[in-house]
Amino acid sequence: MIIAVINETSAADKNRDILAALEGRGHQIINAGMTKCGNQPELSYIHTSLMAAILLHTGKADLIVGGCGTGQGFMNAVMQYPGIICGHILSPLDAWLFPQINGGNCISLALNQGYGWAGEINLKFIFDRYFSVENGCGYPEHRKEPQRISRALLNNVSEITHLSMGSILKLLPSDLLKHVMIYPGFKDLIHKHSLENEEIRQVLINYAE
């Protein structure tokens, strides 16, 4: 699995904690957002949610680990884009239930609120539980089939109620898209010749030179 870690400005100092909590689990980790405080262009949750959507829709990531001070801003922003199911993960129990029941592709962490003593240990416990179950397997046993039906229906609703990702990119303010695409290291993840979606490629090619 390719996991993209995307920190915004207020939680830049937690980037190292997230990477440490993901270490040694056998996944490829892309550190795509704020990696430190200072000396970087700032990324708000508006920017990181767009980055998350681009990486998921271009197939450059399978799972996004994002968040913000409370986790609420990033979660709400990223679900403005089609095909993204994001969980607000505060505890190991949240992390254990969300992938089973909702089968999501994005998680939002609270990285300031309640992040006190042993906060980095709680992150490790969260990922221990998250990766201990099969994505979309369902829980409890007798609810597996209704949950499978609901997930499929939600995906269908998302397609109906959103424009395509390519159409969204065309309509976004150019300064927002430019801020994201010129962020150090991000455009290197978006190789214009490897983008399978032609509609997305035609938009991003202008920023990926």
The pLDDT, as a whole number, for residue 37 is 65
pLDDT of residue 175: 94
Give domain status of residue 196, yes or no: yes
Task: Please tell me the predicted confidence (pLDDT) of residue 185.
Answer: 85
Among residues 41, 19, 39, the alpha carbon closest in space to that of 28 is found at: 19
Model-level pTM greater than 0.85?
yes
Peptide bond into 82 cis (omega under 30): no
Handedness of CA 17, 41, 45, 5 (dihedral sign): negative
Q: Is residue 209 part of a domain?
A: no
pLDDT at position 76, please?
Answer: 97
Q: Is residue 157, in this structure, part of any structural domain at all?
A: yes
The 3-state DSSP class for residue 157 equals helix
Using the predicted structure, report yes or no on whether residue 205 has a pLDDT greater than 90. Answer: no
Question: pLDDT (tens digit, 9 = 90+) per residue, 156-199?
Answer: 999 999 999 999 999 999 999 999 998 988 888 887 667 888 88
* Token pair of 36 as six digits: 């430190």
Q: For 78-82, 159-163, 202-206, which range has the lowest pLDDT when averaged over its residues?
A: 202-206
Residue 199 lies in a domain: yes
What's the domain range around 171? Answer: 2-204
For 9-60, the DSSP string reads GGGGGGHHHHHHHHTTSS-EEEE-S--SSSSS----HHHHHHHHHHHHHTTS
The Cα–Cα gap between 40 and 4 comes to 18
- Sequence-distant (≥ 6) Cβ neighbours of residue 202 within 8 angstroms: 166
Task: Answer yes or no: is pLDDT of 208 > 70.
Answer: no
Classify residue 64: in a domain, yes or no: yes
**Digit-coded pLDDT (tens) for 111-162:** 999 999 999 999 999 999 999 999 999 999 999 999 999 999 999 999 999 9
- Structural domains counted in the chain: 1
In a domain, 150, yes or no: yes
For residue 78, give the CATH number of its domain: 3.40.1400.10
SS3 114: coil
* Each residue's pLDDT tens digit, 6-59: 999 999 999 999 999 999 999 999 999 888 766 778 999 999 999 999 999 999
Q: Quick one: DSSP state of residue 79? A: T
- Tell me, what's the pLDDT at 38? 65
Please check whether residue 100 lies inside any domain of the structure.
yes
